[in-house]
Amino acid sequence: MNAVTLKGLSKTYANGKKAVDSVNISLACGEVFGFLGPNGAGKTTTVKLLNGMLTPTGGSCAVFDVDPAKNPQKTHALSGVVTEHAQMYDTMTGIENLIFYGSLYGLTPSESEQQGKTLLEELELSHAANQKLAAYSTGMRQRLSLARALIHQPQILFLDEPTSGLDPESAQNVHHMIRRLASEHGITIFLCTHQLRYAQEICTRYGLMEEGRLLAEGTLDSLRLLTDSGMTLKIKASRIPETLLCQKTAPDAYEVPIQSEEEIPGIVRSIVNAGGDIYHISATLPSLEDIYFHLTRKEKSA
């Protein structure tokens, strides 16, 4: 059984805007899926479609074989959702909020409190458990939202920009937690973000979106195959042979595009034979950002 299945999923709003256009994705249980793209790419709309908040205008989707459009309550019982628009009550304390949402998921007040306290501790919010939410910073609210989404131990988490507004350290903690949730508890993660660098650190598979369309989908290695250049070799050397095709980025610093690691010894030999001293050499694979920009450029030129 797939955790998430999208079959030709489309959503066109009443004003004619096509937010999601025939998207096909299937996720296995326990995957950390990065759904990436700029604002307005259709990420949030997809999350809403997967939770039954919106009805598809084409295609279908399912969460653990449950159609969210037909049975939203069952989908909600299986999933936890963190989005920018899903806030909690300012007049209640952190723990009161968690107890309230726990009871909505069928937990007893004592179960909610116990689970809430554990989550607050994991998210480093224990000190603010009895503070009213109005006194919480953006980062604290975001972490409490994560605790709220986890209160009923869901099988899948939909996270829409979960680290926006967080300082780097808090963002790092949230990422560690997301990874741990997937690896230790087998929770499937559907992470929407435009922060490609963070996504690359924690996701096992990616879907790259632009203007409602899925540009590409797969693991980082499979996405790298879609780009023309395989790797970039960064070299710091006193002298480079003229025959070597490279780009000078700084004094004595060069970048050489290569297709595989096999080319590196030959390049090193040619520099040494030309009388150059090598101070540093490293091969970098294209990042998610590189892949994304390559694909969008390709899409535009097509």
Question: Which positions touch other proteins (CB under 8 A)?
Answer: 51-55, 72-74, 76-77, 79, 81, 83, 85-92, 100-101, 103-106, 108, 148
CA distances in angstroms from 30 to 18, 61, 161, 178, 257, listed in the order given: 30, 18, 19, 11, 36
Structure token digits, residue 199: 């996504």
What does DSSP say about strands 32-36 and 205-210: parallel, antiparallel, or unpaired? Answer: parallel
Q: Which is nearer to other proteins, 142 or 198 (CB)?
A: 142
| Residue 192 vs 240, nearer CB to other proteins | 192
Minimum CB distance to other proteins, residue 165 (Å): 14
Cβ 106 to other proteins shortest distance, Å = 7
Please identify, using beta-carbon distances, which residue of 111 and 201 lies nearer to other proteins.
111
Coil vs helix vs strand at 72: helix
Give 78 or 278: the residue with its C-beta nearer to other proteins.
Answer: 78
Q: Give the residue with the Cβ less far from other proteins, 144 or 178.
A: 144
CB 156, min distance to other proteins, A: 12
Phi-psi domain of 52 (left: phi exceeds 0; alpha: psi -120 through 50; beta: other): left
The phi, psi pair for 119, rounded to 5°, reads -65, -40
Find the shortest distance in angstroms from Cβ 20 to other proteins.
Answer: 14
Q: 220 in helix, strand or coil?
A: helix
User: Smallest distance, Å, CB 132 to other proteins?
Assistant: 11
Cβ atoms of residues 174 and 157 within 8 Å: no
**Cα 106 versus chain centre, distance:** 29
